[in-house]
Structure formats: C-alpha cells, structure tokens
Chain A
Amino acid sequence: MKIRIISRDIARNISLSGAAAIALLAAIPGHAQDARTTAIAIMKRDFHAKGIAGMDRLDQDALQVVCNRSNNHPPKAIADRLEQDQAESIKYPADGKLLGDWKAGEKIAQNGRGMTWKDKPGQAAGGGCYNCHQIGPNEISFGDVGPSLYRLGKIRGEGPAMQKYVYAKIYDSKAANLCSAMPRFGHSGALTEAQIKDLVALLLDPHSPVNQ
C-alpha cells in the first residue's frame, strides 16, 4: 500500500485533525482513486432520497473517507488520532449510571429495524445485535460477524470500568477500532442513551440470562 510511504515521524508531529488526515490520504495518486471518484459521482446522480434516508447519507465523514481510501487499513498514526476524536465525542449519562434494564435490552438486541427508508421518523430503532453476535442463551439464530458476547459479564467482569467500556463500544465502536464493521449506534443517533444503558445491562447485569 502506497500510504506506507508517509513517514511515521511526520505523521506523529502533525496534529492530525480529520481534515488533515484526509488531505494526507488525498495526496496519494492511483487508478483506484479515479474509479472511486467516478463511483461517487455516479451514485450521487443515480440515487434519490426516500423516507428518512436522505441524500446526505452518501456523503462520507472524515472517518469513512479514511477507511474507504485505505481499504479499512489506515496508517496507525492516522487511526490513533481519529479514534481519539471518536472517543472524545462519546456522551456518557450525566448521572453516571450505565446499567439499565436487561429485559428491555434483550428486545433492543432482537430488533433489527431502524434507519432504513421503510422506517418511520421518530420510531425507536433496534440495535440488531443478534445479527452479528451471540448474546443470550435462548436465541440460537445469531450471526458471527462480531464476537460472541455470551457470558460477557461473567468472563470480563461487571464493574464500573467494564460498564464504561461496553457503553463506549456500543455508542461508538470506532473509538477503539477505526474501521470496525460495527455501526456507531450512539454517534449516529440510532440508539438513545437509555437504550444503550439497557444493552449494557443485557450484557453485564448479573441477573441477565447472558450471565446466568
């Protein structure tokens, strides 16, 4: 990958805002970039807004640009900086309480709806967690794009530090892994603070079937 020619020292010494990171990556010439530019222009011409899915969704944010241009393998210095930006944008509950209701959490984990052009504005979305993760012992139709979360609290602990870690993961998975396949549920506004707390409870509450 040509990106590697960027000297690590230079990258470290520049205070990389998202825009600077893009500028660095944009300097890389290549045929792939021509096809990408064409692809974006064609999509912007061919798509139309439908329901809640507006045309602005075709625009990339800084993180998406970096992941797209680096084929999801950004240079470390850029990834570190952008992950930090993501981490700093996470909003934690004002009262510091991170454990919600695990029963509500299970429903959110089951529900894969939300954010598509068929979904109504204002309608609560689900997390669709079972699409990609094993979670509770009673749901055997689960995907494996992400790791199994069964017995997460039992295995990794249920204390405040772990609660904060899980809350952050759901709110913005990209804070720890810039080009993760997992959506940023809090950052995108797909899930509310209360819903994320319910999911933290599903995964960590000792009473949740996940940890029985």
Chain B
Amino acid sequence: MKRTLILSAAMLAVAAMSNQHAIAQAGKSAKKPAAAAAKSKQAAEFEQFHEELEQDNPAELFELKGEELWKAKRGPKHASLEQCDLGLGPGVVKGAYVQMPRYFADVGQVMDPERRILHCMVTLQGFRQADLAKQPFSTPDQTPDQVSLVAYVAAQSRGMKIAVPQTNAQEREAYAVGREIFNYRAGPYDFSCATCHGQKGLRIRSQQLPDLASKEQAINGYQGWPGYRLTGGLMHTLQWRMNDCFRQQRFPEPGYASETITDLLTYLAVNADGHVYKGPGIKR
C-alpha cells in the first residue's frame, strides 16, 4: 500500500499544479467572455493530464486484490466465487461487466454487477447480505471486499463495448423505471438527476456535467467506474456514485444494492450502449 500513498501524493501534487494552471487560464478569459478556443485548449490539457494519470492507476491494485478474493475459498461455506454466474454462464467473467445490468432467471430479477456479486457471495460463500451492506463503501480505514471484486470483474471487460441486454420485459421495465427515477424532481431543492445531467454542456463550478440522458454522453457517467478517486484517495464503485448523487440531490438515502440503483444503472448503461468501456479508472 506504500506505493499507493506515494502515487496519490504525486498525483495530488500534479493535480494541484494543473489546477493552478487552469485557474490562470480561466482568469485570463474571465475578463472577457470565455473564448471557445481557450476553453477547448484547457479541455485538451485536462484530457492529456487524465490520460497520464490512467497509465499508473492505483485502481489496478484493487483489481489484483479482487482477483485474489474471487479465487480464494472464503466465507462460512469455504468456497470461491469461480462458479459465480454473472450472466454468461458459471465462471465466465470476461465481458460480463459490460453486459450488466441484466435479467437473472435464478432470482427472477434484473441485477447490476455489484448486486450480482453480492448475490454470489451470499449463495456460494454463505456471507450474509446484511453484513455485506453494513459498511458497503470505502473509507480511509477499509475497502470492502465487494469493491475490489467489482474492480476485478470490471477489468475483465476492459476494451469491450457496452452491450446491456434489453431482451425481456423485466429488462425493459428496469430501463423505463430507471428513466422515471432519473427525471423525478422532489425534495427541498426540487432536484432530479436530470436537473444537472439532462442537458449537454453544463458545468457545476468548473466540473463539466455529462448529459446522461443522451446516447453520446451517457458513457461519461459509466466510464472510469469503478474508479480510484483522488478526492480522499478511495476506490469507489457506481453504487457509491449513485448514493452520493442522491445525497447532493438532498434526498434521503437509497438502499445499498437496491432495485432503485439497479434501475438507474440500467437506464445509464443502456444509454451508453455501444461505447467502449475502458476498465476501472481514475476520478478527480
């Protein structure tokens, strides 16, 4: 883990320098309306910086940890996850991540990757769902096993196209309900997901917001997850991302690995269909 610390320190330093550079850039343009050219130059620089970061991504360490956990005999049943069916048959991990959420006949439900992995941990290894849900997100003290497992599974879809099935009624229902959850305005601030993520080209502070309702930009919400987040230096999955979005939406808390999250992820993944998934990433 020492390597992680050195890496993150170095990256934070680079991030800080790049940020100062961005501020200087934006400062120049603040006097006049921001010139489109300056804006795109800045975006290109950030893109390059991001690519450099990805070449030495701590997420890889979690992929390796996840692979160990996948193959090890664990839990009350002293079994590995190697017989886990992620939708392509027992034991097939390659390509499974980009083809979920999908309908699983054994449970009669649509499941997203993390939910399905939890299901396997419960059924094959004998872990208790309630225990796995107790502390499901990474903290400075611990990274839950399922986070590393998701990183491992996701890595086995690196470079593959997102191809989430919409072949049966339940999968189509999950998409339709997910779209409604995405557009549902409520709470003290009247926010829905779409308030910030339903239009192209919007920015919160200096953060570009992808239009997750669009076929072109939905991939931006999917790409890079699971990911190593520079803020806090923690590995997170899309389960965490959805949870923290609802927090900022001023909603109550969604249940971990609940149908709400699966439906929302179905909406997101189907919108991102056909785009190439680059594997676990790095986030600011």
Contact surface of A with B, Cβ cutoff 8 Å = 31-32, 35-36, 38-40, 42-43, 45-50, 53-55, 57-60, 63-64, 67-68, 71, 115-118, 130-132, 134, 137, 140-145, 174, 181, 183-184, 188-190
A49 and B251 CA atoms in complex are apart in Å by 9
In contact, A64 and B177 (Cβ under 8 angstroms): no
Interface residues on B, range: 35 or more
In contact, B204 and A42 (Cβ under 8 angstroms): no
Residues of chain B lying within 8 A (CB to CB) of residue A183: 188-191
In contact, A46 and B255 (Cβ under 8 angstroms): yes
Q: Which of B182-199 contact A (CB under 8 A)?
A: 183-192, 195-196
Residues of chain A lying within 8 A (CB to CB) of residue B275: none
Residue of B nearest to A190 (CB): B188
- Report if B263 contacts A (CB, 8 A): yes
In contact, B251 and A38 (Cβ under 8 angstroms): no
User: Nearest Cβ distance between residue A104 and chain B, in whole angstroms?
Assistant: 21
In contact, B247 and A141 (Cβ under 8 angstroms): no
In contact, A118 and B190 (Cβ under 8 angstroms): no
Residue-wise interface mask of B (207-237) relative to A, using a CB-CB cutoff of 8 A (1 in contact, 0 not): 1000000000000000000000000000000
Residues of chain B lying within 8 A (CB to CB) of residue A68: 183-185, 192
In contact, A39 and B189 (Cβ under 8 angstroms): no
A132 and B203 CA atoms in complex are apart in Å by 7
- Report if B27 contacts A (CB, 8 A): yes
In contact, A43 and B184 (Cβ under 8 angstroms): yes
User: Nearest Cβ distance between residue A80 and chain B, in whole angstroms?
Assistant: 19
Residues of chain B lying within 8 A (CB to CB) of residue A43: 181, 184, 254, 260
In contact, A115 and B189 (Cβ under 8 angstroms): yes
Residues of chain A lying within 8 A (CB to CB) of residue B23: 140-141
